[in-house]
Amino acid sequence: MIIRLATGVALAALLAGCGAETPASNAMSAEIRRTAYGVPHVKANDYAGMGFGLGYAMAEDNVCEIAERYITIAGERAKYLGRGENDANLNSDLYHKRLIASGEMEKLLNGAADSVDTPSADARALARGYAAGYSKFLSDTGVDKISDPRCAGQPWVRPITEEDYWRHQMAGQVVYQLAGIATAAPPGEGDAAAVEDDPLIETTQLGSNAYGLGKDVTQSGYGMLLGNPHYPWDGANRFYRMHMTIPGKLNVVGAGLITNASVGIGHTDSIAWTHTVSTARRFGVFELTLDPSDPTKYIHDGVSTPLDKIEVTVDVKDEAPVTHTFYTSRFGPVLETQTFPWTTANAYALRSIPQGLRSADQYLSMWQAKNVRELHAALSKYQATGFNTTAVDSSGEAFYGDMGMMPNVPKELGDRCAVTELAKQQWATTRVPVLDGSKSECDWATDADSTAPGVFGASKTPQIFRNDYVSQMNDSYWLTNPSAPISGFSPIFGDEATARSLRTRLGIDIVAKRVAGSDGLGDAKFNLANLQASLYQNRHIGAELVRDDLVKACKALRNNALAAACAALEGWDLHVNLDSKGAHLFHLFAENGGLQFKIPFDPADPVNTPNTLDVANPKVMEALSKAVATLTELKIPLDAALGDVQRETRGEERIPIHGGAGQEGVFNVITVENLEPELGWTSIRHGSSWIMTVEFTPEGPKSQGILSYSQSVNPASPFHSDQTRAYSEKKWDDLLFSEEAVEAAVVSRKTVSE
């Protein structure tokens, strides 16, 4: 195997004869051209070469993060890293060992060729190439010579196989009730306390913003898109910028997770799309009635049925191996948490969506779509998205849909089959269906167009096409466009006719003001520059609604201890820019529960209600007093500029970060870690991550973006902090979609081959 710089002759030979997938016997090869910020533009003849180039490039930048992901899905964290805090590594290993022991991945890989669940030849080639490219980097570099100290010389850094890649796909990005499944045991077997429930992923945690702007609201009359996921700044769910080109077959640019050989949010020459975290529940629970004579048997349609057993063993560093027996029902594995106990009378089984390995082929199909109608057809065929999809095409049609596989639990079924008080409470408050597992009539339903048993068919999911716009800020589908509310769906998809988050309300208000030209950003409607400015305006609608009343109430108290706070808030510019003074004080006020509204939600005016600060509520001034006390104790000035107290630490450097809390009404979301004395917040947990803007034109797409936390986790990399500084300065980078643009911007190039 060799690695060499590409010459013009070698490059021409490399690109000759592109088209059909290269046979497995041919050597994989790709050219990696890097432009500013270390962005790799990978060009290959086929999908195997594409995967090879991406695997190699991603390993160059993030080998330690990727290597850790692969010991996770192999169930080997405890083997190399120990049990972990609260047995986190051990529980993770037990969970993933159970997945391995189930044999489900192998069944899917060896399924019928015409099945939607069986990866295509192109998908297999992409996976095979990624594994080979990642492994090639390790062999070229040597584990001992990896420049990232986190994993240099570590025994857990190893080559990977195609099967490893698919196992990673099978495990999924979001795991529900991991510890609850990994520690579940029948009554009398073990005396460990039941684990806490996994929190549902809500809009206050992971989230995203998205605009699909149709021809009626753009200055050019062509489509435009904003993609703005709010994802973790650390860990395996970081995004990675990339450009994938197979001449004559594929040209797609954007970003995907660092462990995937795939542009998950991006654009081609005619469509642009993004994803946002959905309110839909993609899992459910079945309440098992146990056989009184044996808590490992359950009654189904009057018949006592033994739970299946799967025994797994996990190696633990410096300890004896740990063996655990999992119990599985026809619905899925038994879990045990504080909410869902395993008693002698009842147990609870988690049923997950059977997404399997479909995601790769869904994206392959999406990349070939020429408009949003064809993209919709791809989503309908595979139903493999775990998120909302917002998209727009070059003709100016916009689309929104939450079209993944969701448990087919209509409201009537949920109402009828949630029989215990616990089940009724879960259905009413969390929208998680906890159904009677003793009757087959309470199983999930199946539609004529369901792509798997027990899921809603694609036609039964929330979706809409528009020529003006669609928007998504992690509330439900209901107010995607306030002119055309979407309604009539099962609670499993989300709430309808309920109060929207302040961030959703701001997102809709931004569009309305921009279309009217009343936001101070120039002529009416959107172009690329004012779309970007709309995000980076850094408005704070929570403060716009209450700040003046808060200052008035603060002054009326004539409390010397609050005088400086009154002045700081009065002088604040109501934004979360680096030079905004007092924003941090308002953040603590809101975090302490001070945002109390007097005018309640009105479904007839969902964008503008609730509103008006309830100054008579004692929580308001209590929250302000608490915020002042905290900042005073930590010796942080009440009127400090946000850029002086909200930063991301990279080595010895602290980079100022603009943005703020989404739940308070900031569109450009930044979620901080804990306050530190005199310094403020020195680390960002999650928030604006991959930020992408696209405008279609008669000359092709124009696109710019930035990866807020930069391309590499390696502190030794030149691409560890560069885009973070660019984000701090509100800069944008051209995505370089065309071949000519890439060639003009190349900083380095290499050809990697087997």
Please say if 208 is a catalytic residue.
yes
Which residues, at least 6 apart from 679, have a Cβ–Cβ distance to it below 8 Å?
A: 636, 645, 647, 654
End-to-end CA distance of the chain: 5
672-678 CB contacts, 8 Å cutoff, 24+ apart: 672/646, 675/630, 675/634, 675/636, 676/634, 677/634, 677/635, 677/636, 678/634, 678/635, 678/636
Cα–Cα distance for residue pair 478/489, rounded to 1 Å? 9
User: 244, 736 in Cβ contact below 8 A?
Assistant: no
Q: At 585, which helix (H) or strand (E)?
A: helix 583-591
d(CA 647, CA 640): 13
CA distance 358 to 184: 29
Strand partners, 242: 254
Q: Scanning the structure block, which residue is given the tokens 């549902």? A: 200
Secondary structure (H, E, C), 155-205: CCCCCCCHHHHHHHHHHCCCCCCHHHHHCCCCCCCCCCCCECCCCCCCCCC
What phi and psi values does residue 561 have, to the nearest 5 degrees?
-70, -20
Check: CB of residue 403 under 8 Å from CB of residue 449.
Answer: no
- For residue 737, which amino acid is it? F
What does the chain come to in residues? 754
Which residue in 29, 18, 15 sits closest to 752, CA to CA? 29
Q: With contact defined as beta carbons under 8 Å apart, do 669 and 230 qualify?
A: yes
Bridge partners of residue 229, in order along the sequence: 208
Strand segments, DSSP code E, in 38-197 are: 40-43
Number of helices (H), then strands (E), belonging to the chain: the values are 21, 33
29, 92, 135, 208: the catalytic one is 208
Catalytic machinery residues:
208
